Structure formats: structure tokens, C-alpha cells
Amino acid sequence: MCVGGFGSYILAMSKNAAEGGGAGSDGLNVEERSVGRLIAFLFLTHFAGLFAILPFRDYFIMRHNLTFPSGTATAHLINTIHTPHGAKQARKQVSVLLKTFVGTMAWSVFTWFFSGPGGPACGFQAFPTFGLAAFRRGFSFNFAMSNVGVGMLSPYKITLSMLAGSLLSWGVLWPYIESKEGSWYPAGLGDYSLSGINAYRTFTGISMVLADGLFLLLCILLRTLRAMMARSNNKHPHHPPPFRCLSESVVVNNDSSSRPIPGPSRSFDDRRRAQVFLRDRVSSLASALCYVALSAVSVAAIPRLYPQLAHRHVAAAYLAAPVFAFSNAYGNGITDMHVAAMYGKIAMLVFGSWAGLGRGGVVAGLAACGIFVSAVSPAADLVQECRTGYLTLTSPHTVLLGQIAGTALGCVVSPVVFWVLYKLYDRDADGPDTVPYAKLYRAMAMLGTGQGGGLPRHSLLHCEIFFAIALVVGVVREVAARRGWRVVGRFVPSTIAMAVGFFVSPKLAVGMCAGSVVVFLWKRHDRDEARVLAPAVAAGMICGDGFGLLLLSVLAIFKARPPICIMFLSRDVNARLDAFLATLHKSSY
């Protein structure tokens, strides 16, 4: 596992992305690649995030029981394969999973036949489920079975919160801001420019994610201090280990200020999973010391790789990275979405402005983006693998060691593969569309150094407003949980899920809500069958869609093109098209 950013911030440092002759194309703001420097940078940045998130492992998996849909789907696939085949339930789960898996792959290939050559405008993904006006805003069902599977594994509150965030942002807020084009920001900018509408989308959602993450982190710190004070006062001198006896009907209360408390009856499997998960522990002190040591090495070494980044810049990045890693892992556990790239863009602006254009601020911002993405993304991946290990009774130590080994392997293999492919196609490196994401990241880094027009009007005001709203929602949610206000807590939305709705197209939220509707109706019909088979169906959908994309990639390698294009047009457009085709038919005679 390695998040290299080879097509984005790495290539954005090159002279080709700078396009020569203008501000920011001088020697300090340009760095050409070398495979040795890439490997060294990835080794320095990819391991700290693993240890930054380890102290919160129990909080994510045990206290909040976050879903981590992809990790849960993987676990169900593993458990289904390795369950004894003599069990009736196991046979049924295996049968349902395989049927769903094969059916989803077949559906991916079937829809491919109708998806060309018009690109995104063709195929079932362009079906205007709620009408053409809603489709232009992104509200449609795109028949992506992985989204349905994620929705089947996610709680109802999460999917509904994402849909509410999509309705608020894509249905109300973004159309209003787009009406201010030419007033709040220059007209004619692309959708990905941080001087235009993309700034509102990016920073508004990020402010909500950060607010919720900071609030949750503060709650954890306060609970930890409370527990330490309670132990110092000998209020709870005896703490029996959780799940010491597998026959006990207890629940884990990971607020360590109190003992395990009696709770609803839990299955033997759940108690066994908790026992294995809590048995092998890496102490928080050891994790913190490892993070500090790795950060110190990076602070000393990264400025030698990229002199535009001073030691104080790298130190500040590693001080802030745990907060972003926590927020990203929490959001990934709820919605199965990574927003590490969004955090990298913020770092790019902040550190690029801090360094300044005259001292290589473009390269400094891009390198800081790499530090944040490399620290934040592996942290979420580790907790997701811990969720898989929790469900499959895998030792947490084994999961951690496997993640470290995979990260180390990726830090070597990924740069080498990139370097081979880059040298292979280096003759086309000057082409205008060869590195579109690199030029996009280069433009963002230039924006951070004061070039390119700056941020649009009122974008920071939007961030402040939604940051405050997210904090208020977090306080209400925590008070409702502490006071036992079940009615209030039931209707308080998930802030991070709503924030993800601000980032991504509403198609994702619609697909996840479709999965929640399937589970709801299934439970109304047969609750026991839904409890047993719904996870297997969801796992088959997610894994089958992934393998379907792999098959489509193979078809693309062999330059196979879809033979049919299905398009959905309005009545007026269709009438004009028929009239145009009629003229062509007459002119052919």
C-alpha cells in the first residue's frame, strides 16, 4: 500500500507542468524527479500516519463500531470462504455471495456495451432517474452496485445524512453560488479551479470534517484525563479485563473512566472477536514515541530532499497531521470515502503561502501536500484493515505488521513502476494533455503563493459558518448521548457524512440510499434472513463491481470499444435531432 501521488503533486513539480517562462517557473519552484528521491520521500512519510492513528484503534472499532464498508465486505468474503461447508447457514451465505459476485460482474460488462463512444453522456450511468433538471445537478441513480453495497452495510443515519448534505449543497448552496459567477469569482473558470466554485466545495466540506474531528478528538482527550484522575484517586482500583469470560453478557465501555457494564446479550462470536481484538495491544505511549521518532527523522531528512521546505515547515506538518488523520479515518469508517487529497490541497495552500514564491513556495506546497496525503491516507487504511481483522479474528499485531510490510514494499515497487512507465512515455511528456492532474495541482500551488487570482469572495466566511454549525451539531450529539435523549440523538445528523455529500456527486448518496432502502424492505419482509444474508449480498456487490472494473480495464488495454451508445434527451432536443437527421436523409438522395 503506497499513496505516491505520481500523477499529481510529483509531476506537478516538473518543468513540463510549469510550462516555462512565467512566475513560478524558475529553478527554486521546479524540481525534476529521480527514483531514489521518490523512494526516500515515500519511506519518510508513509509510516508516521500508522502510529499516529494506533491510539484511537479501540475508539473506532469498539466504542463507535464504525462500519468501514470496504473492510467489512472483505471480512465477510473471507469468513464466508473459510466457514465450515457443513453448516447450512454457511452454504447459504456462500451461495448468495457467489451469485451476487458473478451477477455484479456480468452487470458491469453488460452496461459497458451501451457506454460508448459518447463517454459520460452514454450508458445507464446517464439515466435521468429524477428528471433531466435533477440529472444536470448530479441527482440520479448511476447503477453502480458498489455504492448500493456500501449503503447496505452503512447505518440509515449515515446514508440519510449524506443525502441531506447532497441536497443542501448540490441542490441549494452550489446553484446559488454559481448565480454569483462574475461577482464573487471570475467567470469562465473550470469546475476544478480553486479560484472558482471548487473553492467553496472544497473548503466548506473540509471545515465541517475538521470541526467534527477536532470535537471528537477533544472528547477523547477529556475522557482520558478523567480516567487518569479517577485512577489517581483510586475510585476504581479493580478493572477486570474486558470479555475475560466468554459467557458474560457485557458490553465494552471504552470510556476508561468506568468498568465494563452489564448490557444486552451479545453473541459468542462478538465476545470472541472483542477478546482477540483487545488481547494484543500496542500501548498508546509506544505508538506516540514511534510517531515522534519518525517525525524527527522526517524533519531532519525531508529538507535535504526538498530544500524549499524548511525544518519548521516539516515540523508543523507533522504536528497537524494526527488531527487530519483522525478526521479522515473517522470519515472513512462512516462513509467509505477518503478525503486525504482535500487535506493535501489545504496543506498546499498554507505551506506554499508560508514559504513564499521567492523561496520556492510552489515546490514547498506540493511537497507539503505529499506529506499530508502520505500520512493521512495510510492511517485510514490501517483502521480499515483492523476492522477486517476484528471480524476475521486476526491478531491486531499481525494486521499492523502486515500493513507495515505492505507499505514498505509499496514504497519501493510503486516508484520503480512509475519510473519505468514515465521513461517509456517520456517522448510524449511535452504533450498538452499528458499530465492534466499535474497541471491542476501546479495551478493550486501557484494560488497558494499569491499567483492566479486568489480565493473567491466569501469562501472563508462560508468555512467559518459551517465550522460553527458542525461544532454545534457535535455538541448536541454528545449531550444527547450523555443524557440519554434517544429521540434527539436519533434525528441529529452525522456531520462528516453530510460533509462528504458536499465533496462528491449526489450519485453516490443516491446509490447508498438505494442500498439502505433494500435492507429496510428486506428486514420488513424477513428480519432474520436479512441479518444473515444482507452482508453477504453487499460484499458480493462491492467485490463484484471491483472485479468488473478490472475486466473493463483489460478491455481498454486491448482497445476494445463499446459498440452502442444509449443517450437520454429531452423532448425538444429529440425533436430537433429528428429534424436534423431528416435533412441528412433527404440530402443523401
**What would the pLDDT profile of 418-430 be if each residue is shown by its tens digit?**
888 777 665 444 4
pLDDT at 250: 40
Contact by Cβ (8 Å): 72, 153: yes
pLDDT class of 311 with cuts at 50, 70, 90: very high
**In the chain, pLDDT over 90 holds for what percent of residues?**
19
Strand partners, 549: none
Pseudo-torsion of CA 413, 418, 421, 423, nearest 10°?
-110
The residue count of the chain comes to 589
pLDDT for residue 449 is more than 80: no
DSSP conformational letter for 493: P
pLDDT for residue 314 is more than 50: yes
Q: How far, in Å, are 97, 306, 438, 444 from residue 12 at the CA level?
A: 43, 14, 4, 10
- The residue written with cell numbers 499485531 in the block is 397
pLDDT for residue 268 is more than 90: no
Contact by Cβ (8 Å): 503, 162: no
**Grid cell digits, residue 315:** 515540523
Please give the single-letter amino acid code of residue 49: G
The three-state secondary structure class of 166 is: helix
* Beta strands at 250-251 and 261-262: parallel, antiparallel or unpaired: antiparallel
Tens-place pLDDT, residues 341-355: 888 888 888 888 888
Burial of 513 per CB tally in 10 Å (0-12, 13-18, 19+)? buried
Contact by Cβ (8 Å): 404, 381: no
CA-CA-CA-CA torsion sign (259, 263, 268, 270):
negative
End-to-end CA distance of the chain: 62
Q: Quick one: which of 374, 363, 369 has its CA closest to 411?
A: 374
Burial of 580 per CB tally in 10 Å (0-12, 13-18, 19+)? exposed
pLDDT for residue 252 is more than 60: no
pLDDT for residue 383 is more than 50: yes
Model confidence, pTM: 0.75
Report the b/e string of 257-269 with b at 16+ CB within 10 A: beebeeeeebeee
pLDDT for residue 457 is more than 80: yes
Find the helix or strand (DSSP H, E) in which 262 lies: strand 261-262
CA-CA-CA-CA torsion sign (503, 507, 508, 514):
positive
Tens-place pLDDT, residues 83-136: 655 457 777 888 888 899 999 999 998 998 888 776 677 888 888 888 888 898
Burial of 429 per CB tally in 10 Å (0-12, 13-18, 19+)? middle
Q: Quick one: which of 171, 170, 150 has its CA closest to 159?
A: 150
List alpha helices for 484-526, DSSP H.
486-491, 495-503, 506-525
DSSP conformational letter for 126: G
Q: Quick one: which of 53, 28, 105 has its CA closest to 400?
A: 53
For residue 117, say if its preceding peptide bond is cis, omega within 30 degrees of 0. yes
Find the helix or strand (DSSP H, E) in which 261 lies: strand 261-262
